[in-house]
Amino acid sequence: MKTQPKLLSSLLDDLVDANLILFNQGVVDAFGHVSVRNPENPDHYFLSRNMAPGLVTREDIIEFDLDGNVVDGDTRKVYLERYIHGEIYRARPDVMAVVHSHSPSVVPFSAVKSSPLRPMCHMSGFIGNHVPNFEIRDVAGDATDLLITNQKLGAALSDTLADNTVVLMRGHGSTVVAPTLKQAVYRAVYVEVNAKLQAEASRLGPIEFLTDGETQTTQKTIEGQVERPWQLWRMNARKAQLSWQES
């Protein structure tokens, strides 16, 4: 498929906005990253160079192949965990965008196996009623830094994700996938929202989670409205960035 230059340029602008939005929404801080598959070449994807997401500009975007190699000779420092993105894109042709984060309300669910993350509100039906939890010890032993720093670990994470939309990473964070960049950002935001709500609700009593049917119907309905939060989040993120630059 050949993408018009203007459309590809717009997609890269959206990737910059995605970084800013995720920071502004508290999903990422100085760490975490978001990528989008190259629509002209499904074996390539775009990802920022190694830097804080809230500072990303168009000039910081680099193109990679699925092995995590820079494709144009750019020598700037790149993310250690780029293998998360490449191996998921390799295994999941339906995935067009990936977000990896350490959002604070989600991390506890990765470490407490007796309290699995489940969708409890209509905004998070995409989570589904089974969220796999990647255990790096099963692949690389009990003395790692918990980071996905090579293809073997990336492939193992992708295998754990399987055909789900979210995978937790024990003691680390989560990775969210979607068929569009805007959906990936929406999902990353609402995984964090759902985790916070679930933790709060658990203190009140037993939680009434969504049924399988409700997860499917709410996902279809709500994600059809993804442009609404995207426009709001983008406006707020751009305003925030402008205020930092002017201060």
- What SS3 class is residue 116? coil
Would you say 137 and 153 are in contact if contact means Cβ atoms under 8 Å apart? no
Helices (H), 25-82: none
Residue found under tokens 């305003």: 239
Phi, psi (rounded to 5 degrees) for 137:
-60, -30
Which of the residues 81, 87, 192, 223 is marked catalytic? 81
* Secondary structure in 3-state letters for 178-242: ECCHHHHHHHHHHHHHHHHHHHHHHCCCCCCCCCHHHHHHHHHHHHCCCHHHHHHHHHHHHHHHH
Instruction: Measure the CA angle with vertex 48, ends 100 and 156; round to 5°.
Output: 35
Query: For residues 216 and 24, what is the distance between their CA atoms, to the nearest angstrom?
Result: 28
Find the angle CA(178)-CA(182)-CA(183) to the nearest 5 degrees.
35
Largest Cα separation within the chain, whole Å, is 56
Does 200 qualify as catalytic in the annotation?
A: no
Q: Name the residues annotated as catalytic.
A: 81
